[in-house]
Amino acid sequence: MDLISFGNKYPFLQANLDFWGKYLTARDNVWGLLPSILDETVLEQSDFLAHLADGKPFLAYESIRIPQEGMEKLAEAFCTPFGLALPQTVFPEEIPLFEKLTVSPDETGFVIAELHSLIAAYIESVITSDEEEAINWLELDCPICGAGAAMGFLAPSGKKNLVCSHCQTVWVYPRINCGLCGHIEERGAIFYTAEEEPNWLVETCKECKSYLKVYDMRNALPDILTYPLHYLTSWNLDLTMRDKEFAPRFFHVFERAGWIKAKN
């Protein structure tokens, strides 16, 4: 599905599609360059799967560096579709964990945070390329960058998967635990649904007072151009949840999108 047919299917998202079109192009640009810039031998030498049992995200124990020149190329590839100015420096040291990524809430912060997200996503694609299924990780934080989940889905196998709120890495997580805090509700979590969204359910948690939107892939495969945009298609669910005591979780890009000024 392309962005135009997507807009026809979800007309309430039309007004946002200018941003998402640029976002998808910017990401494709960077993704195309990363194989020639990131030293894959470092990634391949790191036995990611052997480290899974340690429960530490990849960027917590691996030192990944990108030379200044390569970083400039990535930044330019990302900035061009948005018409943004290039940041002065991006990551002069190693690529940090999500929690150590400090950016200012402005255009530069947007570029740096999104580049970080893409680098983490690319690392995931290289180190798990032999894996058929999503990473069997069983932790609350992303196995690559360490950020929390923004949404979930039930795979055709019935396993619950979480999607990282920052780099969009997908990992398998126990079905009965809250995907946001790990809590197990004694009588089972309460789920909400909306008639307009037959393939989505909302998993609520009394412990962290949050809700996780979960797409059920067992009946229909979703239109995923990118996970954050897929998340936005179930806006009806969020309306259903508005008067309840639970707070939503978001992809970080939603907030960051507001850091760039609209350009005509």
Q: Are 245 and 209 in contact (CB under 8 A)?
A: yes
Nearer to Zn ion, 20 or 137 (CB): 137
Q: Which of 38, 75, 142, 189 binds Zn ion (CB under 5 A)?
A: 142
By CB under 5 A, the residues from 17 to 36 that bind Zn ion are none
Give the number of residues in contact with Zn ion, rule: CB under 5 A: 15
Nearer to Zn ion, 6 or 118 (CB): 118
DSSP string over 16-64 = GHHHHHHHHHHHHHHHHHHHHHS-HHHHHHS-HHHHGGGT--HHHH---
Tell the smallest beta-carbon distance from residue 206 to Zn ion (Å).
8
Nearer to Zn ion, 144 or 253 (CB): 144
Tell the smallest beta-carbon distance from residue 196 to Zn ion (Å).
26
Neighbours of 113 (CB within 10 A): 22
Tell the smallest beta-carbon distance from residue 185 to Zn ion (Å).
9
Rule CB under 5 A: say whether 60 interacts with Zn ion. Answer: no
Nearer to Zn ion, 100 or 218 (CB): 100
Tell the smallest beta-carbon distance from residue 167 to Zn ion (Å).
3
DSSP string over the chain = --HHHHHHH-GGGGGGHHHHHHHHHHHHHHHHHHHHHS-HHHHHHS-HHHHGGGT--HHHH------HHHHHHHHHHHHHHHTPPPPS-S-SSSPPPGGG----SSHHHHHHHHHHHHHHHHHHHHHTTT-SSPEE--SSS-TTT---EEEEEE-TTS-EEEEETTT--EEEE-TTS-TTT----TT---EEEETTEEEEEEEEETTTTEEEEEEETTT-----SSHHHHHHTTHHHHHHHTTSS-B----HHHHHHTTSPP--
Tell the smallest beta-carbon distance from residue 43 to Zn ion (Å).
15
Nearer to Zn ion, 84 or 113 (CB): 113
Rule CB under 5 A: say whether 150 interacts with Zn ion. Answer: no
Rule CB under 5 A: say whether 145 interacts with Zn ion. Answer: yes
Nearer to Zn ion, 90 or 162 (CB): 162
By CB under 5 A, the residues from 113 to 132 that bind Zn ion are none
Nearer to Zn ion, 134 or 167 (CB): 167
| C-alpha to C-alpha distance for 88 and 106, rounded to whole angstroms | 14
Tell the smallest beta-carbon distance from residue 83 to Zn ion (Å).
27
Tell the smallest beta-carbon distance from residue 209 to Zn ion (Å).
8
By CB under 5 A, the residues from 151 to 210 that bind Zn ion are 164, 166-167, 169, 178, 180-181, 183, 205, 207-208
Applying CB under 5 A, the residues found at the interface with Zn ion are: 142, 144-145, 147, 164, 166-167, 169, 178, 180-181, 183, 205, 207-208
